[in-house]
Structure 1
Amino acid sequence: MKELLRTTDPTEIAFAQALLHGEGIDVFVMDVHMSILDGGIGALPRRMMVHQDDHERAVRILADNDIGT
């Protein structure tokens, strides 16, 4: 798996997930429960991972939709 996106914005993660699922790319979001450590203020970023074979296509999809730039 390769990291595709790292952000503290949960709406950006949700939008990126929806786009990628629509294109048939499976994603895995890591660090979802890290808010326990930062007291729920959202200071720790979440990471979105994709299979390395899908990484280039996923990067293009996100770039076309101005996500992660």
Structure 2
Amino acid sequence: MREVIRTNDVVLISVVGALFEAADIGYLVADSHVSALEGSIGILPRRILVVDEDEAQARRLLRDADLGHVLYDGP
């Protein structure tokens, strides 16, 4: 799986999840339990991962939805 977004914004996570489900893109929200434990100080963001084969489509979908600025391009 490939990480496409890293955020603490639960609204963004739900919007992205809805977009991915509508486009039949397999995804996983990682670290949601850990980030809930640390509270709302934001040191442990949630990560949205997509299936390797869907990464290009997921990134294109987010750019088309004007969410390209939230894409994670880390290592």
Q: What TM-score results when the alignment is normalised by the length of structure 1?
A: 0.89
Correspondence for 2:40: 41
Paired residue type of 1:60? R
The range that moved more, 16-25 or 59-68, is 59-68
- The size of the alignment, in residue pairs, is 67
Q: CA deviation at 1:53?
A: 0.5
Detail structure 1 runs of 4+ shifted over 2 Å in the superposition. Answer: none
Question: Which consecutive unaligned segments of at least 5 residues does structure 2 have?
Answer: 70-75
Q: Does the aligned pair in 1 maintain the 2:29–2:48 contact within 8 Å?
A: yes
Deviation track 1:2-52 (CA, whole Å, cap 9, x = no partner) reads 00111110110100010011001111000001121x2x2151210000111
> 1:19 and 2:48 equivalent?
no
1:13 match: secondary structure: helix
Residues 47/17 of structure 1: CA separation in 2 closer, same or farther (3 Å cut): same
- Residue type of the alignment partner of 2:14: A
| TM-score (ref. length: structure 2) | 0.82
Helix, strand or coil at the partner of 2:52? coil
How many Å separate the matches in 1 of 2:7 and 2:68?
8
